[in-house]
Structure 1
């Protein structure tokens, strides 16, 4: 049996930086010399090819245009590669990885996002372990076929479903968490795969790459004292198609008459409103408390236990597909790529 062929895609971020010890300045790493710099990669049971975006992108500058570029690289190499590892800055990694999960429909191979908190050349770097194990995860096979068949995120010994992750810490090596879904695999002395939690796509269907994404959306985080003037100005944004409301706890909000009336007026204009929780873990349960009952009554969409990152990218994806208004609510409340629980 031939070794799995893994494509390493460098987009930018700390993991791709190396320090010039003469000047102390960080500069982009030349990934063509990757095997020379990290000889441990020769020990992996796979072949590794590398490709980079034309210019490394700081993750703070990441946007849907670059998401499409990453998707196109995967699309053009899909037949010749058994798995993909995407190196990305950690700050917006969950957004990009979540977006790719929706853009790559019927994905039957692993796409593993990873990065690091320290540059690859630092003495105490987490980059080497994250990179080596991500490639190893992407190489896992069963009966000659990829074991993992979804977009994932690997960081600090754990492989997560990408669209379930959020970055929780800017300083610890354990930067990410998946509070509403178990990890897919864990790296210790052995690689432990949680088979029952892996996504199971329809292998009879070919890969479809969706490249139309709509950014005509808004994200509003509720806070005590939020004003009519502020909310009205956001909801009056030209060409606005949908709004994600980050509500309290299990999907609760103020019951003041002006607030509910403004949301009702917005929904009547054909603008979708989606309710997600501000909490890092847990789920929206509209109608469970009186303070969310009115949202349910006026037709607000439940984001259930979706993360804000996945909520945004799913919304951009669905609006880009021009999903019909009459099925939009039902479709959003349905798990498309394992991004939300169905109960």
Structure 2
């Protein structure tokens, strides 16, 4: 019994090609190292359910290739079917093309990408050159792999292969409206350097403040600084929006943050300025509030409305990762100082001053 099993395994080993052995070993290693590949090479956060799904699909694909190879070795080989050989060839071409693209794009990012610190982690982000070269390499490998698969499946003449590829080209041309704008917009964003990974931006006003996490092929990942969540926005839509890049300072002083307070007419301007100045001094002495204490606090009257005087206070900061926290903590300092000074920050009721002697 043991000798029969040994002879059978020896026969299986003798009929196993080098390509099949390489595929078996590669798929097994990819399944075992899949988590490391996703975290270190693709820089995907596996805490997200969507990335967990991608990891499962990745592992299932490798396992499926192993199963197909085993079926071909132990079952289909006995049938001497040429279809299985073509199937193995197609799998090998697709496998080699995919990983050749990933490996080349990885080295392109290392050579031409930008090294940045995002969310406390140093990552190699895309640049215009790395993204353009990656697209070019991916396109070339896709075309060569497609030609190889077409010829392997029995299209002997170059005319047949070219015709098949032409059909693929027509399909891409008909669907270019759904993918081309995002790719082109992504390249424009990377080339302009207006919005770079790690920058703090506001989109369409003050309603949304986020950090740019990564600019991908079709979309840009943003980190919502208020809700601490990830936001995906299409590259074409991002380029069409009004973007305020808070990390691109107009001067060496840093970002000029403005706060608005409405105070009644019964409080003198001197008392209001003294209150703001005391709050600024307290904020400067607080190490948890990263404001630029070397620059004076700017106190201005924004408007004199019917209800109250609108006072605008401006300070400078360069720590854009904490811009939301800085604004909140400084506002708290103003609130505490207003309570000490007996100055109300509530908007007064509308009133009309009338002379005492008027009937």
| TM-score, normalised by the number of residues in structure 2 | 0.23
Q: Which has the higher helix share?
A: 2
The structure showing larger relative contact order (alpha-carbon pairs under 8 Å, at least 6 residues apart) is 1
Q: Which has the higher strand share?
A: 1
| TM-score, normalised by the number of residues in structure 1 | 0.24
Structure number with larger C-alpha Rg: 2
